[in-house]
Amino acid sequence: MSPRAALASVWHVTATSAITTAHAQLAAAIEHLGYDEGLHAHLRMPRREIHVAVPLRTDSGELRLFRGYRVQHNVSRGPGKGGLRFAPNVDIDEVRALAMWMTWKCAVADIPYGGAKGGVAIDPTLYSKAELERVTRRYTTEIMPLIGPETDIMAPDMGTDEQTMAWIMDTYSTARGHTIPAVVTGKPIAVGGSLGRAVATSAGVVHVTRSALEAVGEKLGGKTVAVQGYGKVGAHAADLYAANGARVVAVSDVFGAVHNEDGLDMGRLAAHVAATGSVTGFDDADPLTNDALLALDVDVLVPAATENVLTEQTAPTVRARLVVEGANGPTTPEADAILARNGVSVVPDILANAGGVIVSYFEWVQATQVYWWTEKEIDERLEQRMVTAYDLVADLARRDGITLREAAGVIAVQRVAEAHEIRGLYP
């Protein structure tokens, strides 16, 4: 199978059932809290969503059309907040699931945002930078009535990056007639981005890994780690694990995985990826499939790629004692049950990868106040928030005899429900 066909097939599989997983997780929290069906329905349905057509005149003069979406799942605790994804099989249900997870993530991290997400069904690897700029600017223009620094704030996700955010900010600012940096986060530093944002999600992943290990009397130093997905989250996480004394023995991307039991040389691996565009073919490691990476005998497994990779089929093969979800929705409810039965502890996505939205919040605060914090201030405040959130979730899990995912869901849903209750129903 060609790399392109492999990419398309993976994306097709992963885009199918995120909403089923998200709905099952919400139902479990509702049941635990004893909330009624009316509130359940209210928390399940997105507040607003927009479907747009995004036309592109390609560099060679052809006209192409892409579907775009923006979903605001909940805005009771503050403006919608969430990334923008460019991937060929993004559909409205996947964006709804991702928006719902953002609501819970912001609530668990206790930051004053609701949840939102956007997507454009495009394979960004097939288009030039100029074409992607035109797609981004047109998408932004189409959804402009819904977004703004006090209504809905975008950030990078799969297939988008800080350059994408700069184009969105410029498009929005040009339409409003003045510069409005707080309309997006994850911007380049030169246009109001925050120090520490690029590595924030990964730094948070490492903080909760440390907390989870300390909870069982262990240390991160010397532990073996496998990371699925060598993208913005996975690559920085791998670097940070190695910098903190762990041994990263395997990483992967959509084209395949590489494995070295002695630990991968992070600097040489990064240079290889910069030169070739993939971890595959790295000469200081053995090739591996993505499924084999999930089954490695490591201490910590970090899925940091996409949804539904730990399933009924792959979960029984997991030998790691600890799974830390860098990605959103990597584990299906069936896989969750299998992992729990097998004694595998899972730090769930809405807690584990909250570092990105926490530093996005810091970036938004800095942009709003036009006053910039030092990297040290950001790092310390991020760690403090991650550890606080972890401890709260772990305490509830212990008290009620539930998993970390169930506990995180219960805390999040309770906080959002409380905001609903206090605000009341209009009219």
Contacting residue, 18, 132, 220, 305, with ligand NAD by CB under 6 A: 305
Contact positions with ligand NAD (CB under 6 A) in 344-363: 353, 356
Least gap, CB of 217 to ligand NAD (angstroms): 29
The two tokens of residue 368 are 């709003």
Report how far residue 157's alpha carbon sits from residue 268's, in angstroms, rounded to the nearest whole number. 26
For the chain, what's the residue count?
427
Which of the ranges 67-75, 155-163, 215-223, 393-401 carries the binding residues for ligand NAD, by CB under 6 A? 155-163
Instruction: Say whether residue 304 binds ligand NAD (CB under 6 A).
Output: yes
Burial 269-303 (b: 16+ CB within 10 A, else e): beebbeeeebbbebeebeebebebbbbbebbbbbb
Instruction: Say whether residue 69 binds ligand NAD (CB under 6 A).
Output: no
**Residues 271-290 as x/- pattern, contact with ligand NAD by CB under 6 A:** -------------------x
Which of the ranges 150-158, 165-173, 210-218, 364-372 carries the binding residues for ligand NAD, by CB under 6 A? 150-158
Q: Which is nearer to ligand NAD, 245 or 277 (CB)?
A: 277
Query: Is 289 strand, coil or helix?
Result: coil
Least gap, CB of 124 to ligand NAD (angstroms): 9
DSSP state, 193? P
Which of the ranges 154-162, 240-248, 391-399, 405-413 carries the binding residues for ligand NAD, by CB under 6 A? 154-162
Contacting residue, 21, 252, 332, 345, with ligand NAD by CB under 6 A: 252
Q: Which is nearer to ligand NAD, 99 or 147 (CB)?
A: 99
Q: Residue 235: which of 279, 178, 300 has the closest Cα? A: 279
Marked catalytic residue, from 81, 105, 117, 232: 117
Instruction: Say whether residue 156 binds ligand NAD (CB under 6 A).
Output: yes
Residue 240 identity (one-letter amino acid): L
How many residues of this chain interact with ligand NAD, rule: CB under 6 A? 27
Least gap, CB of 288 to ligand NAD (angstroms): 11
Least gap, CB of 233 to ligand NAD (angstroms): 4
Contact positions with ligand NAD (CB under 6 A) in 3-22: 10, 14
CB neighbour class for 347 (10 Å; exposed up to 12, middle 13-18, buried from 19): buried
Which of the ranges 139-147, 224-232, 339-347, 407-415 carries the binding residues for ligand NAD, by CB under 6 A? 224-232
Least gap, CB of 234 to ligand NAD (angstroms): 6
Q: Which is nearer to ligand NAD, 306 or 402 (CB)?
A: 306
Strands 224-228, 300-303: pairing kind: parallel
Contacting residue, 230, 282, 361, 390, with ligand NAD by CB under 6 A: 230
Is residue 105 annotated as part of the catalytic site, yes or no?
A: no
Least gap, CB of 232 to ligand NAD (angstroms): 4
The two tokens of residue 79 are 């403006």
Instruction: Say whether residue 232 binds ligand NAD (CB under 6 A).
Output: yes
Burial 114-149 (b: 16+ CB within 10 A, else e): bbbbbbbbbbbeebeeebbbbbbbbbbebbeebbbb
Q: Which residues, 6 or more positions from 410, have their beta carbon under 8 angstroms from its beta carbon?
A: 29, 32, 33, 396, 400, 402
Burial 93-112 (b: 16+ CB within 10 A, else e): bbbbbbbbbbbbbbbbbbbe
Residue 228 identity (one-letter amino acid): Q
Which of the ranges 21-29, 187-195, 231-239, 280-288 carries the binding residues for ligand NAD, by CB under 6 A? 231-239
Contact positions with ligand NAD (CB under 6 A) in 84-113: none
Burial 206-231 (b: 16+ CB within 10 A, else e): bbbbbbbbebeeeebeebbbbbbbbb
Which residues are the active-site residues?
117
* Residues that bind ligand NAD in the complex, under the rule CB under 6 A: 10, 14, 156-159, 201, 228-234, 252-254, 290, 304-306, 309, 326-328, 353, 356
